[in-house]
Structure 1
Amino acid sequence: MARRGQPATGTRRTAPKDQRRGRERGDTISVLARTVREVEAAAQRGPVTPSARTKFQVVALLLREEHARVRADASSSETHRTEQLKRLDGIATILAKTAVRDPALLALLAEDAVVSDAARALKQDMLRAVGNEAPPEEVAPVQPAAAPAAPEHRVVPQSVVSRQLANPFLAPDFSAARPSTARPRRLAGWELLGPLLSSFERAGGGAKACMDLPFPTTRFTPAGQELMQHQGQLVAAAAAGHRTFLLADEPGLGKTAQALLSAEAASAYPLLVVVPNVVKTNWAREAARWTPHRRTTVIQGDGETIDAFADIVVVNYEVLDRHVGWIGDFGFGGMVVDEAHFIKNRSSQRSQHVLELSERIRARRTSPLLMALTGTPLINDIEDFRAIWQFLGWIDDGKPLGRLMECLEDAGLTPADPGFYAAARQCVIDQGIVRRRKVDVASDIPARRIADLPVELEGAAGRSIRAAERSLARRLVSRYESALAARSSATEVEGIDADLVRQVARWELKDATSTKAGENVFSMMRRIGEAKASLAADYAAQLARSAGKVVFFAKHIDVMDTAEETFTKQGVKFASIRGEQTPGARQRNIDAFTNDPDVAVAVCSLTAAGVGLNLQVASNLVLAELSWTAAEQTQAIDRSHRIGQTEPVTAWRIIAAQTIDARIAELIDTKAGLAARALDGSDEELTPSADVQLEALVTLLTEALAAA
């Protein structure tokens, strides 16, 4: 027997409680230091993998907890606490330096960052390794995210109430929603989201990320319209029963038409379309073009003017928060999210509202049509996929769902098997990823085209411009009536005298060119250009992020200034090409745009940079202001559409809807001809600018007289 006070043979002396606590804490810090070095090394080697991101987040979580525990430990000496805190600060410094290398890591440092199942499991393993088992509640299954807090301003438009009262049978029937069918799952114990995301990094092998598509159909195309082959393929897939799509075609390949006709093929009405504000008007116009038999309504502000009986409801992200309540209960049969990369930050209110609506629609409708449209689903990181996949119902916050999970089960592989990543990638693609590039479908589209993008001028600027246009119209009418009253009775004509209208327009145009006093057609166009500037710049920034370099053309310096301020605020690097620059400065800016991959936009004066430049490094142009002739417009487009250009060129004209801007755009089209604008090398006779200016005034006066 062992003596009293001595340990028995084969037993181990137990350290005092405070020493055990200090050693465990020290061991934890050692594990954190080793792990953070692993993450740092991974970040230095290249793009951070999902597993490295998981380690990064766990270190951040444990570092925060350990820091608080050391500071609160009254049983330790001051010297010991200081030493431990110093070591923890060193780990924090490495975390911060590593996060700078990858912006996606910065979000994981936030206290409200979403903790994945993989991070929770790794945290538990690390604590267990040093003898600090986490309490059971720390590793409990992740609960569904709480619904976003109700904003201060939440509305239900009167038209929606009227729709409900008019026909109680319009209330949606939720009984047909597909029930979840649980079955034994071989992969239930595996963390799958990380490997699924990683499969797009590891298993691509140059293969296209595009699901197999059927033979194209034109069955749903309205008379007078024509679908391209690649567009008809997607519509055919919807007609065959496919209901979820990540449509990632490059800009300019007609995603809007594909979405609208897919809704027609799937009978997914009423259809909700969530879009950026800058393209809201264009969606309504395209809906009228491709589904003319369907009623479309656009939600403006609090929705006082919407038609709740419409088939297609268009709403912009900026006002979605105040309408999310009634929209979720409306009974939509489909939902389209345009520029879906807008929702990539799942902690943002915008993303939370979109995901909430998707979940409510899927809970209330059997196989609703869900479409995410974006030219670039990945902007910063492979993690950008998460929110889009969640919107489509392929995953939830922690695991694959439905058909995606069934596909992974049927593959018969686990993440430990070498062939898992290629099979997993294909399973995700087959859920509905559709990606075509311009160069792949070049035979389907013209080498050069112009696309009009109508925008609404809202707020004080929009009201002022419309008031000024009415004032100009009243002056023209007054001048017409005075000239008409001065005529002799022998020259009277019945109705509107077209000759006199044209003469009055000539007088107005002569006065406008000889004096700057008062509102005239030139000052009107300048004010419209100023009002469009930020919207046009915002759209150019979107294009730059999704399609590469963009050329931004404007006529007036103040429009260029506003655009450059917008790019600066959004962190978009640009080169400025203006008339007042010296030749050397101008060439340096051109070279920067051409050669520097970080310079995304060239802000160009339409007159100074419209000729003599080679900007074929860009295949997308934004025309923020209209020119008076098709020739000036064509010359600007030809800065990119020239020898050396390898991709089709698209020029996006920003048009102020319901203003003289739209009338002038139509006149330019009429005078030049659509074919001349779409095809290269046209020898069609060009119309003098004065003819367009004159016709704009003639149109304005004629419409005012007809309305009187």
Structure 2
Amino acid sequence: MLITKQGKFFRIQFKYSPFLVEKVKELPGRGFDPTNKCWVVPEVHEAVVRSFGQRYNFQFGIDIEDEQIGELPEMPQLNEAIPLKMNLFPYQANGVAYSLQKKKVIIGDQPGLGKTAQAIATILAADAFPCLVICPSSLKINWQREWHMWTDKKAMILNDNVKQNFHLFWSSGLTQVFIVNYESLKKYFVQSINKPENGKMRLNHIKFKEQFTGIFQSVIIDESHRVKSLATQQTKFTKGICTGKEYILALTGTPVINKPKDLISQLGIIEQMQAFGGYKNFVQRYCSGPNEASNLRELNYKLNLNCFYRRDKQDVLKDLPAKMRQVALCDISTRKEYADAEASLVQYLIKYKDADDEKIARALRGEIMVMIGILKNISARGKLKDVFEFVDDILESGEKLVIFAHLKEVISAIHQQYPKAVTITGSDSASERQHAVDSFQKNPDTKLIICSIKAAGVGLTLTASSRVAFVELPWTAADCDQCEGRCHRIGQLDSVTCTYFLGQNTIDEKIYRIIQTKREIASTVTGATEQVEENIVDLVADLFNQPQLVEA
């Protein structure tokens, strides 16, 4: 319990106590500061405040300077052409201009607003190559794909085959971007650790491989809240690799998960702590009091002034389409099982192609549909780790999410991971479904609803969320649109972002390609489901003879 004088007010801070709240309310001129979560009393009532503090055993802190808050300038305009393959949204161009101006920043846009594209455009405009991307393991493939989708630069995911010589790919002009997950930083970049036997590991105990770390002009740190703890090895490795780089871009939709101290390591990694008076001043100024949070308006002002920007969807709706689709490619954990099942399917597709008799062809179609279902099942199970990481990030950001799946086994696994989620499945009664919808729509604490594609694909309104994710794919574009439409309907005030999880080099990519390039299937094929499935069999058979999906 603490009382400090700041400017013309006394601040009274304590962990919630109904008794103390009632007593504070008796103080003259008292008011509550919702930003800093404390009570304030004008300095003219100093005697009353000091008497109150002594009576209830409050500590009196030293007088501190009042919050320094000014007018933030407008986000800068991007006045240079960047050779991107696609166009940025106007707000993204503003973000790129800010990052080019500041060079070492935290890009904190709400999830779904394209932080990846802004980071790529910034590094391309600055020509800050080679670039190292540090990201969660589940996002390595997507980062590689995004670099190739937006630019002509070549991106390589680090693996054991290039562990000793990946820097030569840069010097020979073959690769400009290198991608590594947090857990592998030690393997690729650390030469040795000389930590005292009974002491804590510090950064100066780590010797890095200079021939590798020294080549990079820029580093992108995706989901940088992963390195919010000063104590972890991954934080120290990331800091050491970033030291001295010209451009350091930290990407996170949740820079502060719990308290302002979450920012300390991130600001240290991007070399911006001096803008806040250094570590000691940051802790005293912004992490004080029972809640370890203080002067939050000033902190927000200084962040935006020096090294941080964040836009929510409602801030940039004029720039966004009503609905956006994005693909999340996953390296499935069930690869061996999948490869065996795929080999069997390929054999059946050969028989189907060569079949002259219509009865045999029809029988083979049925077998093929079963085998395609098995492949989808194996891929869905292999994607769950990546799905869980995605859901965790969305929920930590405070957003709600609608997630669609088909198999009971997959829905059950997701629900087991998130037991507080509500569900809409074929086994739920009408009253249970309505309760789930009402809870998701009206209860701010109900963040996740897990839906069966068939049970929840029509008729329901889930506009409390502007985020939709598919763990499994339905057969047709019409089914996709129906599921997306649970959020994208009258009453939705935000742009809806639809994320499709696809197993890389699996049936998922082939079916998604069908959905994207043959969206007319839903409208041109009428009648029994069997007719649609026969079309799918023909298209899948054709796609197994074509290259893998490149563009979403």
Q: What amino acid sits opposite 2:264 in the alignment?
A: R
Cα deviation for residue 276 of structure 1 reads 1.5
Deviations 1:583-616 (A, max 9, x none): 1222222222222222211011111111121110
Confirm whether residue 552 of structure 1 aligns to residue 397 of structure 2. no
Distance 1:591 1:504, change over 3 A: same
Quick check: which one's helix share is greater?
A: 1
CA distance in 2, matches of 1:248, 1:637: 26
Instruction: Give the counterpart of 2:425 among 572, 578, 581.
Output: 578
CA distance in 1, matches of 2:165, 2:399: 36
The TM-score with structure 1 as length reference comes to 0.59
**Residues 276 and 302 of structure 2 are in contact (CA less than 8 Å); yes or no, is this contact kept in structure 1?**
no
Alignment size in residue pairs:
467
**Residues 554 and 606 of structure 1 are in contact (CA less than 8 Å); yes or no, is this contact kept in structure 2?**
yes
Distance 1:686 1:285, change over 3 A: farther
The residue aligned with 1:230 is: 91
The residue aligned with 1:466 is: 339
The residue aligned with 1:443 is: 318
Cα deviation for residue 371 of structure 1 reads 0.7
**Residues 203 and 421 of structure 1 are in contact (CA less than 8 Å); yes or no, is this contact kept in structure 2?**
no
Cα deviation for residue 528 of structure 1 reads 1.1
Confirm whether residue 452 of structure 1 aligns to residue 311 of structure 2. no
Confirm whether residue 219 of structure 1 aligns to residue 97 of structure 2. no
Distance 1:253 1:527, change over 3 A: same
CA distance in 2, matches of 1:546, 1:336: 20
CA distance in 2, matches of 1:575, 1:301: 42
Output the aligned Cα RMSD: 4.0
CA distance in 2, matches of 1:335, 1:388: 13
CA distance in 2, matches of 1:616, 1:383: 34
Instruction: Give the counterpart of 1:335 among 219, 238, 249.
Output: 219
Deviations 1:651-689 (A, max 9, x none): 10001111121111111100117xx9xxxxxx9757845
Confirm whether residue 696 of structure 1 aligns to residue 540 of structure 2. yes
Instruction: Give the counterpart of 1:645 among 492, 514, 517.
Output: 492
Cα deviation for residue 261 of structure 1 reads 1.2
Cα deviation for residue 285 of structure 1 reads 0.4
Instruction: Give the counterpart of 2:453 among 589, 606, 612.
Output: 606
Deviates more, 1:314-323 or 1:641-650: 314-323
3-state SS of 2:478 partner: helix
Cα deviation for residue 466 of structure 1 reads 2.2
Distance 1:346 1:421, change over 3 A: closer
3-state SS of 1:562 partner: helix
The residue aligned with 1:162 is: none
The residue aligned with 1:672 is: 519
CA distance in 2, matches of 1:479, 1:666: 21
Confirm whether residue 527 of structure 1 aligns to residue 378 of structure 2. yes
CA distance in 1, matches of 2:547, 2:150: 28
**Residues 296 and 312 of structure 1 are in contact (CA less than 8 Å); yes or no, is this contact kept in structure 2?**
yes
Cα deviation for residue 629 of structure 1 reads 0.4
The residue aligned with 2:150 is: 290
Distance 1:660 1:33, change over 3 A: closer
Q: What amino acid sits opposite 1:436 in the alignment?
A: R
The residue aligned with 1:538 is: 389
The residue aligned with 1:508 is: 364
3-state SS of 1:245 partner: strand
**Residues 2 and 14 of structure 2 are in contact (CA less than 8 Å); yes or no, is this contact kept in structure 1?**
no
CA distance in 2, matches of 1:452, 1:352: 32
**Residues 509 and 693 of structure 1 are in contact (CA less than 8 Å); yes or no, is this contact kept in structure 2?**
yes
**Residues 217 and 247 of structure 2 are in contact (CA less than 8 Å); yes or no, is this contact kept in structure 1?**
yes
The residue aligned with 2:53 is: none
Deviations 1:267-310 (A, max 9, x none): 22111111122221111000001121x22111246855984322
Distance 1:343 1:701, change over 3 A: same
CA distance in 1, matches of 2:2, 2:220: 46
CA distance in 1, matches of 2:540, 2:352: 16
Distance 1:238 1:396, change over 3 A: closer
**Residues 551 and 603 of structure 1 are in contact (CA less than 8 Å); yes or no, is this contact kept in structure 2?**
yes
CA distance in 2, matches of 1:658, 1:305: 27
**Residues 12 and 38 of structure 2 are in contact (CA less than 8 Å); yes or no, is this contact kept in structure 1?**
no
Q: What amino acid sits opposite 1:372 in the alignment?
A: A
**Residues 672 and 686 of structure 1 are in contact (CA less than 8 Å); yes or no, is this contact kept in structure 2?**
no
Distance 1:221 1:231, change over 3 A: farther
Instruction: Give the counterpart of 1:346 among 222, 230, 236.
Output: 230
Cα deviation for residue 640 of structure 1 reads 0.8
Confirm whether residue 325 of structure 1 aligns to residue 172 of structure 2. no
Cα deviation for residue 503 of structure 1 reads 11
Deviations 1:308-342 (A, max 9, x none): 32211111123233223167622211111111122
Alignment of 1:280-429 (within 5 A): 280-292=140-152, 294-300=153-159, 307-308=166-167, 309=169, 310-325=175-190, 329=210, 330=212, 331=214, 332-359=216-243, 362=244, 365=245, 368-395=246-273, 399-400=277-278, 425-429=300-304
Quick check: which one's strand share is greater?
A: 2
Cα deviation for residue 691 of structure 1 reads 2.1
Q: What amino acid sits opposite 1:235 in the alignment?
A: V
Distance 1:48 1:536, change over 3 A: same
Cα deviation for residue 399 of structure 1 reads 4.6
Contiguous gaps of at least 5 residues in structure 2: 5-10, 22-32, 40-58, 170-174, 192-207, 286-294, 527-531
The residue aligned with 1:263 is: 123
CA distance in 1, matches of 2:360, 2:274: 65
Distance 1:306 1:312, change over 3 A: farther
Deviations 1:244-284 (A, max 9, x none): 12111112211111101101112221111111222211110
**Residues 619 and 649 of structure 1 are in contact (CA less than 8 Å); yes or no, is this contact kept in structure 2?**
yes
CA distance in 2, matches of 1:421, 1:587: 40
3-state SS of 2:497 partner: strand
Alignment of 1:35-54 (within 5 A): 41-44=14-17
3-state SS of 2:482 partner: helix
**Residues 280 and 314 of structure 1 are in contact (CA less than 8 Å); yes or no, is this contact kept in structure 2?**
yes
**Residues 297 and 306 of structure 1 are in contact (CA less than 8 Å); yes or no, is this contact kept in structure 2?**
no
The residue aligned with 2:506 is: 659
3-state SS of 2:498 partner: strand
CA distance in 1, matches of 2:534, 2:230: 52
CA distance in 1, matches of 2:469, 2:338: 22
**Residues 351 and 387 of structure 1 are in contact (CA less than 8 Å); yes or no, is this contact kept in structure 2?**
yes
Cα deviation for residue 532 of structure 1 reads 1.5
CA distance in 2, matches of 1:604, 1:549: 14
CA distance in 2, matches of 1:301, 1:559: 32
Q: What amino acid sits opposite 2:141 in the alignment?
A: T
CA distance in 2, matches of 1:559, 1:345: 33
**Residues 275 and 306 of structure 2 are in contact (CA less than 8 Å); yes or no, is this contact kept in structure 1?**
no
3-state SS of 1:371 partner: strand
Q: What amino acid sits opposite 2:455 in the alignment?
A: A
Cα deviation for residue 432 of structure 1 reads 2.3
**Residues 327 and 500 of structure 2 are in contact (CA less than 8 Å); yes or no, is this contact kept in structure 1?**
yes
3-state SS of 2:143 partner: helix
The TM-score with structure 2 as length reference comes to 0.74
CA distance in 1, matches of 2:273, 2:359: 66
Cα deviation for residue 452 of structure 1 reads 0.9
Deviations 1:168-190 (A, max 9, x none): xxxxxxxxxxxxxxxxxxxxxx9
Q: What amino acid sits opposite 1:543 in the alignment?
A: I
CA distance in 1, matches of 2:297, 2:324: 38
Q: What amino acid sits opposite 1:337 in the alignment?
A: I
**Residues 447 and 648 of structure 1 are in contact (CA less than 8 Å); yes or no, is this contact kept in structure 2?**
yes
The residue aligned with 1:62 is: none
Contiguous gaps of at least 5 residues in structure 1: 1-31, 53-121, 127-189, 409-419, 488-499, 677-682
**Residues 664 and 696 of structure 1 are in contact (CA less than 8 Å); yes or no, is this contact kept in structure 2?**
yes
Distance 1:527 1:191, change over 3 A: farther
